[in-house]
Structure 1
Amino acid sequence: MTFVPHRRRLLESTEDAEPMNWARALLLMGIAAGVLWVIEIVNWTLDQRLDRFGLRPRELAGLEGVVTMPFLHSGLWPLLSNTPAFIVLGWAVLISGLRVWAVSTSLIVVLGGLLTWFVAPSGLIIGVSSLVFGWLGYLLARAFFSRRLLWIIGAVVAAFMFSGLFAGLIPSVNSNSSWQAHLCGFVAGLFVGWLLHPRKQKRLPLPAKGKLRSSGPAEGTAPAPTS
């Protein structure tokens, strides 16, 4: 299986990541949100013409939307509604280190986008909400598998602050948003949390020195004669 060495390399690339200053992480997420706003304002002035680069399920021409989907929105209001969760949840991941944020975000975008491309109904899917749900799933899975107190507290606070997001995982017919994209992003986040933060196995204590026993005869003695 080639999965194990690939996972080991991912773990090695994130384990030694240096935590980021909270204020600096918040500044970087504010800049990232600003980039999304600039793109959407340009898209708005172009009568949403950039939307054609979004994800189109099971269409090869729409496969590029796996990467471009988070950068496009159907209007200013959808982006406005996603901005607080984007900044806060992205910040919660980023304070663990830029490398952790980059690896986890890239995996969530690609895996969540591919899942959406496979399972969502035909149409155009755009928006950063899939990534937002992915970050939420990642924070919950990281807390569950790592069992670090600080990460558990952070996951509980995030789940409480954005508890309304969980309604977006429920299938809906009349909603303008894609619950399939939300669910796929969330599942991708859970998977990435498990992938990057496996639960460590407990090591058995070594026997105390002087209490080691050998199953054979003692050194320097001959075995007892047999009749």
Structure 2
Amino acid sequence: MDNQDHFKFSNGVIIYPMLFVLLLWAIFWFEIRFGFDFTNFGVYPQRFSGLRGIIFSPFIHSGIEHLYHNSIPLFVLSAALFYFYKSIAWRVLVFGILLSGLLTWIIGRPAYHIGASGLIYVLVSFLFFKGIIAKHYRLIALSLLVVFLYGSMVWYVMPIKEGMSWEGHFSGMIVGIVFALYFRKNLPQPKKYYWEQEDYKEEEDEFLKHFDENGNFIENTTLDEESEEPVTKINYIFKKNTD
């Protein structure tokens, strides 16, 4: 029987990413509706008060275009994360936010760094390099899909666009690579089926009663027709051992 991978769809694959994205939109709506500006809750490098942005910055966006461009990749990538790496998905998300934010705080320019793009780069980097390291055909296919959809994002880890936090992108990419290496042993394991002789022990014991110690069939015994498939298997094992 062919091995089957432990890739299993669950409601969380869609629900968690959707709730996360909806939360971003709800926060943005709250800012617009009540006239707030949460920009000063972003990461401000080398400033003690700017450390709070490590937690809050992914939920803050400068405008609807900024939020829109982050929403789709965030949903797609986090859904892929929960589908292919369910056991470590929350750790990648939570520590991805914290570590990419901290690294941005260390290396960033003196300005407010906001937006979920740092986390997006964590996910892009992690999914790509994890699939390559895993050498699993489905995960490699996922890596290629990530490159196809978001490969152009690699250019934005460099300071090529004014007003864009390339430091946040660079930090996210580095954290994603580190996670891919750190979690390299956390791979979806194939289901294993052990067709060992002991699995048929009761059937084998019953079957062997019909033979003497030399392997000759005892004529005054009858085989159980209901156990046709197990007998066939045991008969193969028995003959193999007595040839």
Q: TM range, normalised to the smaller chain?
A: 0.7 to 0.9
What is the CA–CA distance in structure 1 between the aligned matches of 2:185 and 2:15, rounded to whole Å?
30
Aligned residue for 2:84, secondary structure, equals: coil
What is the CA–CA distance in structure 2 between the aligned matches of 1:164 and 1:39, rounded to whole Å?
28
The C-alpha deviation readout for 1:43-89, integer Å capped at 9, x for no partner, is: 22344422221111011101011111111111111000111101111
User: Which residue, out of 3, 14, 18, partners 1:26?
Assistant: 14
Aligned AA (1:71): F
What is the CA–CA distance in structure 1 between the aligned matches of 2:50 and 2:96, rounded to whole Å?
18
What is the CA–CA distance in structure 2 between the aligned matches of 1:66 and 1:167, rounded to whole Å?
23
Partner of 2:81: 93
Partner of 1:51: 39
Aligned AA (1:196): F
Large movers: runs of 4+ above 3 Å: none
User: Which residue, out of 36, 57, 62, partners 1:69?
Assistant: 57
Taking the TM superposition and a 5 Å limit, the aligned residue runs for 1:106-117 are: 106-117=94-105
Instruction: Note if 1:176 corresponds to 2:163.
Output: yes
The C-alpha deviation readout for 1:99-144, integer Å capped at 9, x for no partner, is: 4110111121111111100001101010000000110010112112
What is the CA–CA distance in structure 2 between the aligned matches of 1:169 and 1:134, rounded to whole Å?
12
Alpha-carbon distance, 1:21 to partner: 1.2
Partner of 1:148: 136
1:133–1:182 contact (8 Å) kept in structure 2: yes
Aligned AA (2:80): A
The alignment covers a number of residue pairs equal to 182
Moved more, 89-98 or 69-78: 89-98
User: Percent sequence identity over matched residues?
Assistant: 21
Task: Compare CA radii of gyration and give the structure with the larger one.
Answer: 2
- In the alignment, structure 2 segments of 5+ residues that lack a partner are 1-5, 188-243
1:107–1:192 contact (8 Å) kept in structure 2: no
Alpha-carbon distance, 1:160 to partner: 0.4
User: What is the CA RMSD across the aligned residues, in angstroms?
Assistant: 2.0
